[in-house]
Chain A
Amino acid sequence: MTALVTQPAAVAHTAPAKRRRRPGAGRAAAHVFLFVAAFVWLVPLAWTVYTSLRPYNETVKDGYFSWPRTLTFSNFTSAWSQADIPKYFWNSVIIAVPSVIVVLLLASFVGYVLSRFNSRFNIPLLILFAAGNLLPQQVIIIPLYRIYLSIHLPKWLSSSGLMYNSYFGLIVINVTFQLGFCVFVLSNFMRSIPQEITEAGLIDGASVWSRYWRLTLPLCRPALAALGTLLTTWIYNDFFWATVLIEDGSKRPITSALANLQGVYFTNNNLLAAGALITAVPTLVVYLLLQRQFIAGLALGSTKG
């Protein structure tokens, strides 16, 4: 940097002409590269969509790699009814919605305490939450599985009577595992809110709770929206927890039910393609409508909020 600054003015003078030519060629190369890469990137999905739209009989006769004679949505309707997809979607809703709300609430609690009160516990707390979030899930699964088997729950909370194989258990682990990331993001975000706002609350004699609930939390709406989008997608996409901690196939959320769908559709790739695309619909909706929120959430985690 300093070397560049001290370069004589004469060099800077000749630079524009050189610059105008080189980016031209470079830009064309970049365009070609990006176009080819983007094309390759879309092939797997395009192939899935194409397969899902073709009748099974036709692909048996002509092969999958052939021009279409007819295109139909019938694979989607049969995939939907054959594999009981509405049930799995409902399982996903039962698990994802409470998980996201509880994570955001708990993480904003900790974020608030960490950002507004200085104590010698702040750093250890931050380390505990952040490190917990980075552990691979398999590190804890062996003891966790035994713990889930040994915790008894009342019948109204879990039909199996155990933490294992219950929606409640799955919600608890999803909440706990996502907490770290959200604590990290929200405490950073809250620290960027000027102290003066909560100080003003103090003069009016507001309690800690109302300073949190009425003054701080409403200002966190952008971060909460971004995190909410991110968490909904991540929890919806969870495969591991549900595969290990839910025994009953019919209780599994749709992402982990994907493994069973392959058996249900047998060797009918057209149905499998349609079924796979159906499971992608909620994430594709987020992708189309809330992409900016999702990316904002990721960015909050990687750069300083």
Chain B
Amino acid sequence: MATVNAQAPAGPASSAAGSRRRRRRLRTLSRRDKLVIALMAGVPLALDIGFIWFPTITSVLLSFTHWMGIGGLGTAQWIGLHNYAYAATTDPAFWPAIEHNLIWLGAFVCVATPFGILLAVLLDGKIRGSRIYQSIFFLPVMLSLALIGTIWELMYSSNYGLINSVLGANGANNAIDWLGNPKLDLWAVLIEACWRQAGYVMILYLAGLKAVDPALREAAVMDGATPSQTFWRVVFPVMRPVNVVIAVITFIESLRAFDIVYITNRGTNGLELLSTLITNNILGETTLIGYGAALGVVLLVVSLVPIITFLVVRLRQERST
């Protein structure tokens, strides 16, 4: 476990002396120390593999089978790509779910994330009341998504909700059923999701902005750059690591969308998402394990895009420091 990689590039300052010291230290590890190290890394690793990576791989394998979940795994039949073909050609909920996930992503990319970044940039300056504003925009991030769904039901309720009351549309005839109309409900729920996501992005971006060396900005201002030039040409490029994190979070959170939709109507009637289709395969009336697994694999493949982006950027960063 703890063998030194002799080729490991040593930092410029430490160089030969440093690596010699490190090698010496590792040679002094007793057998008991080695056992401790193996356990410290091994127990969490076993959990991670057993309950995350094993199910992930099993999901891929199950996706090629037909299994009702009754009886042992031996009753599962290998059916090749049939589940995927069924999703693409027969299941009426599959393409709407993909479309809704894409709309969700679009709303985060075009609305929530830019809005959060704008808030962060505005609040990073020495504006009066910055702390209070930050706290207000941050508040929804603390609440559970299930709770957010519940709170907004009080806003959207067709007869008693605030929105219809303000619009004067809470009568019996002209009531707008925000969460019951399949053409409206996705947009109504997206407002809820953006309400939280914008604050999340704001807080992350603010943390990044605070870490930017103020001398850099002062230099730009000294040289006569306008605030927007300072931001786009000096601050934004330096913020690259945080920008990547924000991009990854925006992507991942739109694929993870589940709680709000599930508490609203269990992901039906215009609110189908990949995540709810998978879950309803367990909690719903029909259980098609293989098919549910195939949907999970679709979600996995899409998720790999942001995950790999994140890992590549982070590891490159590791190496450069």
Residues of A within 8 A of B (CB): 1, 4-5, 7, 11-12, 15, 19, 22-23, 26-27, 30-31, 33-34, 37-38, 41-45, 47-48, 51, 59, 63-65, 106-107, 109-110, 112-114, 117-121, 123, 125-132, 134-147, 172-173, 175-177, 179-180, 183, 199, 202, 207-209, 212, 233, 236-240, 243-244, 255-256, 258-259, 261-262, 269, 272-273, 276, 279-280, 283-284, 286-287, 291, 294-295, 298-299, 301-304
Contact = CB atoms under 8 A, between A and B. Distances in A.
A37 to B, nearest CB: 7
Contacts of B50: 176
The 8 closest A-B pairs by CB, nearest first: A65-B165, A299-B207, A237-B144, A109-B40, A140-B55, A143-B58, A143-B55, A15-B224
A36 B49 CA distance: 48
Given A139-B59, A179-B48, A240-B279, 16 more contacts: A23-B227, A41-B140, A44-B155, A65-B166, A128-B45, A130-B311, A136-B256, A138-B279, A208-B36, A209-B33, A237-B143, A239-B145, A269-B154, A276-B151, A279-B147, A287-B142
A38 B133 contact: yes
A134 B244 CA distance: 14
A137 B259 contact: no
Contact of B154 (A34, A238, A273): A273
A236 B147 CA distance: 12
Interface in B97-148: 119, 122-123, 125, 127-129, 132-133, 135-140, 142-147
Contacts of A43: 155, 162
Contacts, number: 323
Contact of A119 (B5, B165, B166, B293): B5
Interface centre among A30, A51, A114, A131 (most CB of B within 10 A): A131
B133 to A, nearest CB: 5
A117 B37 contact: yes
Given A44-B195, A48-B151, A287 B258 contact: no
Given A207-B32, A208-B36, A175 B47 contact: yes
Given A48-B151, A302-B204, A239 B144 contact: yes
B62 interface: yes
Interface of B is mostly: helix
Contacts of A130: 310-311, 314
Contacts of B199: 41
A120 B2 CA distance: 9
Contact of A134 (B69, B221, B306): B306
Contacts of A42: 136, 139
Contacts of A258: 144, 146-147, 150, 263
Contact of B2 (A5, A119, A129, A180): A119
A176 B204 contact: no
